[in-house]
Amino acid sequence: MTSRFISSAPTRRTVVKAAAVTAVTAPALLGAASTAHAGSGAPAFLHGVASGDPLPDGVLLWTRVTPTPEAVPGSGLGPDVQVDWELAEDRSFGRVVASGTTTASAGSDHTVKADVRGLRPATSYWFRFTAGSAVSPAAHTRTAPAADATAPGVRFGVVSCANWEAGHFAAYRHLAARADLDAILHLGDYVYEYGSGTYPAAEYTVRQHEPRHEIVSLADYRTRHGHYKTDPDLQALHAAHPFVAIWDDHEFANDAWTGGAENHTPGAEGDWAARVAAAKQAYFEWMPVRTSTEGTVFRRLRFGKLADLHLLDLRSFRSAPAKTGSGSVDDPERSITGRAQLDWLKSGLAGSDATWQLVGTSVMISPVAFGALPAHLLEPIAELMGLPKEGLAVNVDQWDGYTDDRKELLGHLTSRAIRNTVFLTGDIHMAWANDVPVKAATYPFSASAATEFVVTSVTSDNLDDLLHVAPGTLSVVAAGAVKAANRHVKWVDMDHHGYGVLDVTAERSQMDYYTVSDKADPGATTAWARSYRTLSGTQRVERVYQPVH
């Protein structure tokens, strides 16, 4: 790849105007460009453009070119094609500051990436790609603040769990329309592996997956990623903001761990290691994240002195799942992170000089258990009966199934006096605002080590969807039971789909929760639901009565 850099300094006013124009125009641009040259035999950009992993001096650019009509995702067909890219300070590309050339080939499913460096911190840019006569849509991205800068604030759109068959991605469209975001934090389940009509059942399917069968091979995973990136709302979101993404289980298979998954049968679906390798290859090809030689997504990004963002991989290294209700969840030999990743996280948290420690975790760290007793009774009784010492866990796929890792991490936060740690979570298809107690059985009389904001799903089924009842029919009772047994849970919404907007300043971290009117409606509207914040130094969540913006 060749590249060149040109230095020039845009004004702050130019940057703000560029961001606003991008958010408004990206959907229209992508809708027009996605059909340009389609079927003509000339190269085409049918899957949009994207950026990700912003650094103070750089950002990763991504696209996929279709060199010939038969070179569809996963086909392995199509010739090599030269792809040029350029990055500018203005949408008209009159002030190009970096450009380069790379090659798209069948070996990478005709996806390309450009890891651009030499840029200015906290600056908005425009970028685009060219292949022959085809020119991609122009898209917007933004670098992070300088590592030593006193950034006044940082704002993320936060999403998780977007099942194609369960609905439309209106949540993405509404986030794309915002001009006030520094990045999108995607906390996993960007794609789903199921065959069509499996989850949800065929009678509740809104639109069908491609391929129709469950994905297991490299070609399958590539095809599924490619199909997702034909969605206009997803394309618009990628064109409007840089992504920071981690994976969860459905990028592989449901409830995945190092040796297998709930949704994997070796005799019928082949070798698990081969399936994981295929899934990871397709993920790194199709997602705007920097490819890891270790095959993992755990990494750290910095947003000035305001926040360090620690991103976790909770699938690649986790031990086999425990049975619900089994005391083996407390086994110190079992891990959700793996030893190396947990040590990396602890070291990064202890060594950070940032005001806030944001931890992107694909599954919930807060305990959610029933059968809680006073601490002096719970532990000895649980030990005698072989039960979990923190109560009967509801979901052992979360940190509740690996309590020794959680105990070690929370102990590290308290013993090292690491404050302002906020866990950002997806996976569970519900919105939560939690304190993270050191000892759940004695909370609120014992300490809270951190706080946690959990976003609901973009489309994946929640309680009402699974039971096929009207919103609120059962959730009021269920939410009340959860909160009664888990006093650190300040709020849980089991009814809605949507997204979050996390606003971080030196004084507080606030999550504004938004819902969409109907996930089955491609034109669904959005509305603010609630907001919760944690004030600097408190380690407690409190409700606020209006969103930041």
Q: Domain of 312: which CATH number? A: 3.60.21.70
126 and 166 in a single domain? The answer is no
Residue with the two structure tokens 């110190």: 332
Domain of 325 in residue numbering reads as: 154-544
CB 111 within 8 A of CB 63: yes
Q: List, in sequence order, every beta strand (DSSP E) within 178-298.
A: 183-186, 243-245, 256-257, 260-261
What is the chain's Cα-based Rg?
A: 23
Q: How far is CA 461 from the centre of its chain?
A: 17
309 and 406 in a single domain? The answer is yes
Provide the CB-side half-sphere exposure for 94 (13 A, CA).
4
Q: List, in sequence order, every beta strand (DSSP E) within 428-481.
A: 431-437, 448-454
193 and 339 in a single domain? The answer is yes
Does any domain span residue 147? no
For range 37-56, the mean pLDDT: 88
| CB contact burial 407-429 (16+ within 10 A = b; e otherwise) | bebbebbeeeebbbbbbbbbbbb
Q: For residue 475, what is the DSSP state?
A: H
Q: Is 1 helix (H, G, I), strand (E, B) or coil?
A: coil
Count of the separate structural domains present in the chain: 2
Q: How far apart are CA 256 and CA 247, in angstroms?
A: 11
Which of 142, 173, 189 finishes a domain?
Answer: 142
pLDDT at res. 442:
85
Q: Is 49 helix (H, G, I), strand (E, B) or coil?
A: strand
Q: How far apart are CA 30 and CA 47, in angstroms?
A: 9
Indicate if the pLDDT at residue 337 is higher than 80.
yes
136 and 178 in a single domain? The answer is no
Range in 23-37, 69-83, 367-381 the model is least confident about: 23-37
Q: Is 399 helix (H, G, I), strand (E, B) or coil?
A: helix
206 and 354 in a single domain? The answer is yes
pLDDT tens-digit map of 402-459:
999 999 999 999 999 999 999 999 999 999 999 999 988 889 988 999 999 999 999 9
Indicate if the pLDDT at residue 67 is higher than 70.
yes
Indicate if the pLDDT at residue 21 is higher than 50.
no
Does any domain span residue 288? yes
pLDDT at res. 269:
93
Q: How far apart are CA 509 and CA 303, in angstroms?
A: 14
User: 39: pLDDT confidence band, cut at 50, 70 and 90?
Assistant: low
**Between 8 and 195, residue with greater pLDDT:** 195
Tokens representing residue 39 in the block: 């079927």
For range 472-485, the mean pLDDT: 82
Range in 228-242, 304-318, 429-443 the model is least confident about: 429-443
Q: Average pLDDT over the chain, rounded to whole?
A: 90
221 and 352 in a single domain? The answer is yes
Does any domain span residue 183? yes
pLDDT at res. 124:
98
Residue with the two structure tokens 């990436």: 113
- Return the bridge partners of 63, or none: 49, 112
CB 484 within 8 A of CB 500: no
Percent of the chain's residues with pLDDT above 90? 79
103 and 194 in a single domain? The answer is no
User: 153: pLDDT confidence band, cut at 50, 70 and 90?
Assistant: very high
Task: Give the count of beta carbons closer than 10 Å to the beta carbon of residue 400.
Answer: 27
For the chain, first and last CA: distance in Å?
41
74 and 199 in a single domain? The answer is no
User: 387: pLDDT confidence band, cut at 50, 70 and 90?
Assistant: very low
pLDDT at res. 205:
97
The DSSP element (H or E) to which 176 belongs, if any, is: helix 170-176
Which of 142, 172, 201 finishes a domain?
Answer: 142
Q: Is 243 helix (H, G, I), strand (E, B) or coil?
A: strand
Does any domain span residue 407? yes
Indicate if the pLDDT at residue 375 is higher than 90.
no
CATH number of the domain at 53, please.
Answer: 2.60.40.380
Q: Is 216 helix (H, G, I), strand (E, B) or coil?
A: coil
Does any domain span residue 549? no
Indicate if the pLDDT at residue 191 is higher than 50.
yes
Residue with the two structure tokens 């130019």: 14
Phi first, then psi, for residue 300 (nearest 5°) are -135, 135
350 and 424 in a single domain? The answer is yes
Q: How far apart are CA 490 and CA 502, in angstroms?
A: 17
Does any domain span residue 148? no
Which of 142, 163, 181 finishes a domain?
Answer: 142
The amino acid present at 272, given as its one-letter code, is W
169 and 194 in a single domain? The answer is yes
Q: How far apart are CA 492 and CA 456, in angstroms?
A: 10
pTM of the model: 0.91
63 and 195 in a single domain? The answer is no
Percent of the chain's residues with pLDDT above 70? 89
- Return the bridge partners of 452, or none: 423, 434
Q: How far apart are CA 478 and CA 472, in angstroms?
A: 10
pLDDT at res. 371:
57
Does any domain span residue 149? no
pLDDT tens-digit map of 154-186:
999 999 999 999 999 999 999 999 999 999 999
Give the max Cα distance, the chain.
73
For range 273-299, the mean pLDDT: 96
Does any domain span residue 118? yes
404 and 255 in a single domain? The answer is yes
CB 58 within 8 A of CB 117: yes
